Amino acid sequence: MADVDFFFDPICPWAWITSRWVEEVRTQRGLDVDWRFIALRIVNEDRDMDPGHREGQNMGLRLLRVAAALREKVGREAVGPYYGAVGGAIHVDRRRDDFFEPEAVKPLLSDLGYDPALGDAALDESWDELIRSETETALSRTGKDVGTPILTFAPPDGPSFFGPVISRVPRGAEALDLWDSVERLARFPGFAELKRSIRERPVVER
C-alpha cells in the first residue's frame, strides 16, 4: 500500500498548492504517494451553480478521465507526473482556458512520454463510474460537505481529512515541520476540525 492517498481534482488551486507541498515532502522522505481522483463535478452535482463554475468542474472531470485512462494503461506511477504537468499549465502558466478544448491535453501527454491518444479519454464517459467510485471512497473516509484535496495517511484504514488548505508551498525543513504537525493532529482520534475563514490569496508555483 502507498504511504499516502492524495485525492485531487486538477482544477482546484488549493489542491494544487497542497499537492506541491506533498510532493516536496515526498522527495525528502521517500514517501509513496498514490494520486487518486475526486471530481468536484460529482461532489457538487446536486448543487445550483453558475455556468462558469459548472463548466470549470466539467473540465476537471474530463481531465480526470484522462488520468484514469493513463493509470490503467501505464500504471499509477504515471498519474503524479500527469497531474504535475496539467496542474502547472492550469495554475502556474495560467492556461486554464486552453483545457476547455479536450485536445489541449494531448501535447502534455506527449511531452511526458505517454501516448497522446490517451487524451481521447477526456470525452469518454465510460470512465465516470470509476471516478465516481473513487470520489465516494474519498468522501466515505472524511464525511461529506468537503472538497479537495483529501489525504489519507497509511491507507486505506489510516486517518483521512480534507486539506490542509494552505495558500503557499512550504519548502525544505518547513515542509517537513508542517507535515509532521498535520500528521500528528490527524492521528489523534478525537481531532475533527481546525479552520479559519481569513485567507491570503493563493501563491501558485510548481
Query: What pLDDT shows up at residue 139?
Result: 97
Model confidence, pTM: 0.95
Spatial CB neighbours of 81, under 8 Å, sequence gap ≥ 6: 112
CA-angle at 35, arms to 158 and 162, nearest 5°: 50
Q: How far apart are the C-alpha atoms of 141 and 188, rounded to whole Å?
A: 15
Per-residue pLDDT of the chain (206 residues; tens, 9 = 90+): 899 999 999 999 999 999 999 999 999 999 999 999 999 999 998 888 888 889 999 999 999 999 999 999 999 999 999 999 999 999 999 999 999 999 999 999 999 999 999 999 999 999 999 999 999 999 999 998 898 999 999 999 999 999 999 999 999 999 999 999 999 999 999 988 888 887 788 888 88
Q: How far is CA 36 from the centre of its chain?
A: 7
Superfamily of domain 4-187: Glutaredoxin (3.40.30.10)
Sign of CA dihedral 105, 110, 115, 117: positive
The full set of domain ranges for the chain reads 4-187
Q: How far apart are the C-alpha atoms of 39 and 15, rounded to whole Å?
A: 12
